[in-house]
Structure 1
Amino acid sequence: MNLDLFPTVPAPPGPLDGLLKVSRIYLEPAVERYTRGRDILARFPDAERVEVHSHGNIPGLFGNEGNAEAWNRIKGTTLVLGVKKTMRFESNGRSADFLPPSMANGCVMSCAYCYVPRHKGYANPVTVFVNIEDITAAIRRHAGKRGPKHEPNTVDPRYWVYDIGCNSDCSADAVLSDNVRDMIRLFTTLPHAMGSFATKLVNRELLTYSPRGKTRIRFSLMPPSKAKLLDVRTSPIAARIAAIDDFVAAGYEVHLNFSPVVITEGWQAEYRELFQQLDDSLSEKTKAQLAAEIIFLTHNERLHEVNLRWHPKAEELLWRPGLQEAKVSQGGGANVRYRTGMKGKLVEEFKQLLSQHMPYCRVRYAF
């Protein structure tokens, strides 16, 4: 047979092409005892392996101020594998009822306002936890003890909602391992619970996961001109909007995450244009199930200093001392947000704009 008659068809580009080419893997000694750990290592056979005592304390990586200039290079070449030790659940009440033990933290993307790097110092590569069976078992036990949700709330009227991506982006994590698939399938078996995560990456592999209405995806959106500067290494806003109907058709509940809202001159016109694009693009089926959360920018002085080292243009929009005041976060962090009084008026103005252009889009919460 003449094989030249059957030329090789190149694989379509993957969602992380150009974002991640793993050349170094830091791993805890126990990682290879787990099937998931061995599976991930097999995906990157040519990567250098560096054994470390703890995934959260890697000498020369975390806390190394010299890494600020290498921010994106580290994200694009480094993977950390660890074992989740603490199965802690935190009450939330906004995006979800509970924040469960995370199956990953960090991200291949580089959104300039991301809060996760605050806890990692000067580098923020993805850390994947390989003991997924322990994590899913903990969620199963927690949800079982809760039982039915008798009182509807702003998170959801029917189910206890668990945010499975509060420290990472599950659309990207799904390229690295089957953790996300396992988690989405878990919720199809839990009668009183559902999963949820926000994303800035379109990964169409998730369309094959059969969520059966038990996972909520919140597509994060902002005006495209702002996203080009602030949402570094993410899917374009137009691509995110174009994917929404497909995810609804695949069995996901899809909400919108207008986050962060960054105040600049002319922001109202930019959001009017965004709302109009959404209204023109979304199907009636999508609109019927749509809801949104609105989160105005919270920034952090330490992150501001890091950003000045690798992306100072972003800080021209994010760091506005004349508009901002100090704020202690729920987690005890020292942050800044738009000034009290002014922020309340901005929130109301944003909600009115949304109502004018997308009256069917319920606002779950805004702050």
Structure 2
Amino acid sequence: MSALLDIRRIYVEPEAAALPRGREILARFPEAERVEVESHHRIPELYGDETNVDRWVRIKREALVLGVKKSLAARPNGRSADFIAPSTANGCAMACAYCYVPRRKGYSNPITVFANIDKIQGYVQRHVSRQGVKPAPNECDPHAWVYDIGENSDCSLDARISDNVRDLIELFRWLPTAKASFATKHVNRDLLEWDPQGRTRIRFSLMPARDAKLLDIRTSPVAERIAAIDDFVAAGYEVHVNFSPVVVRDGWLEDWAGLLDQLDAGIGAAAKAQLAAEVIFLTHNKDLHEVNLGWHPKAEELLWRPELQQVKRSENGALNVRYRTGDKGRYVAALTGLIAARTPYCRIRYAF
């Protein structure tokens, strides 16, 4: 793990350092310098400093932030999950060129871990209890309320730093009306020992290897993700796939056909019987485009395609780009048709 995480400096809120989980995390990295901060949100040398572009990957590898989650809320989602659970972490040590998290945190986004896991667990348990039994099937799940526990981080990687993810997976094991869910690009086989009993859905994100080599920086290789699927199904996880983000370029559909054939050959009957997919075409952002030009301009040759994209201003005023209306519909139809032909057992939960 030293290539991915080599924690040398921990920015820590005093309240977090005093909690049991905070003490555990600090004990895992005894050689790391500790820098006391007032708030995990406000660390000038990490966030909002454009000169950090030159240290983008180094900061991800060497810095860790330890804080307390102040605001606890479960937001309705309705597509990938019924609710977005309060996060136990945000940021990431990986460096996917299309990631939206840097848009919120500035020019660097190392992992921030929240130490008040007991409060987060208590909130989630009460929220699930208030929902009662799910009244009708929807595209999230036919029976259970689905809670995404990793909206702003990668839980498989977070689990290398703390037991927060394990605590949540063990919590959902005993919640018969709900299940946890998270997407990942990191294969962490420690999770195979956690006995989720079908109450956690892992979504392995997949894309053609040619795209992943350029865009999925510091992640587990796509072939390794596919090779892990059968093992996670056998360990009691529900395993889905995210075809995301789908990037349109010359030869894109042929490469997706190759990926689907690779997936079909790489998983067994048990995985195929429960497999479902989310299909998400690329949405990019002007500010992130400018950041990427400072550290990984080659990626922008695929991500920033004005001749194919149209601008849409988001609710927070940011300028996002997505494939042009009309053209995108044809792209979606072409890929979903390909999925139906090459992997007909793979149910498409949604595609956009």
Question: TM-score interval w.r.t. the shorter chain?
Answer: over 0.9
Give runs of aligned pairs for residues 322-333 of structure 1, distance below 5 A. 322-329=307-314, 333=318
Q: Deviations over 1:186-233 (max 9, x none)?
A: 101111110000000000000001100000000000000110000000
Identify the match of residue 201 of structure 1 among 172, 186, 207: 186
Identify the match of residue 292 of structure 1 among 265, 277, 287: 277
- Whole-angstrom distance in 1 between the partners of 2:150 and 2:242: 13
Identify the match of residue 55 of structure 2 among 64, 70, 76: 70
1:148 and 2:140 are equivalent in the alignment: no
Who is 1:311 aligned against?
Answer: 296
1:27 and 2:12 are equivalent in the alignment: yes
The Cα shift of 1:49 comes to 0.4
Who is 1:11 aligned against?
Answer: none
- Whole-angstrom distance in 2 between the partners of 1:19 and 1:280: 29
Who is 1:97 aligned against?
Answer: 82
Distance 1:363 1:137, change over 3 A: same
Tell me the TM-score normalised to structure 2 length.
0.99
Name the aligned partner's letter for residue 171 of structure 1. Answer: S
Name the aligned partner's letter for residue 38 of structure 1. Answer: R
Identify the match of residue 216 of structure 1 among 193, 201, 207: 201
SS of residue in 1 equivalent to 2:159: helix
Q: Deviations over 1:123-177 (max 9, x none)?
A: 1100000000100111001000000001100010010000001100000000000
- Whole-angstrom distance in 1 between the partners of 2:169 and 2:128: 14
Who is 1:338 aligned against?
Answer: 323
Give runs of aligned pairs for residues 6-155 of structure 1, distance below 5 A. 16-155=1-140
Q: Deviations over 1:47-72 (max 9, x none)?
A: 00000111011022100010011100
- Whole-angstrom distance in 2 between the partners of 1:332 and 1:190: 39
Unmatched 5+ residue regions in structure 2? none
1:270 and 2:255 are equivalent in the alignment: yes
Name the aligned partner's letter for residue 27 of structure 1. Answer: V
- Whole-angstrom distance in 1 between the partners of 2:70 and 2:313: 28
| Root mean square deviation, CA, Å | 0.9
Who is 1:249 aligned against?
Answer: 234
Tell me the TM-score normalised to structure 1 length.
0.95
Who is 2:148 aligned against?
Answer: 163
Who is 2:215 aligned against?
Answer: 230
- Whole-angstrom distance in 1 between the partners of 2:277 and 2:312: 24
1:279 and 2:264 are equivalent in the alignment: yes
The Cα shift of 1:331 comes to 6.3
- Whole-angstrom distance in 2 between the partners of 1:85 and 1:158: 31
The Cα shift of 1:17 comes to 3.4
The Cα shift of 1:332 comes to 5.9
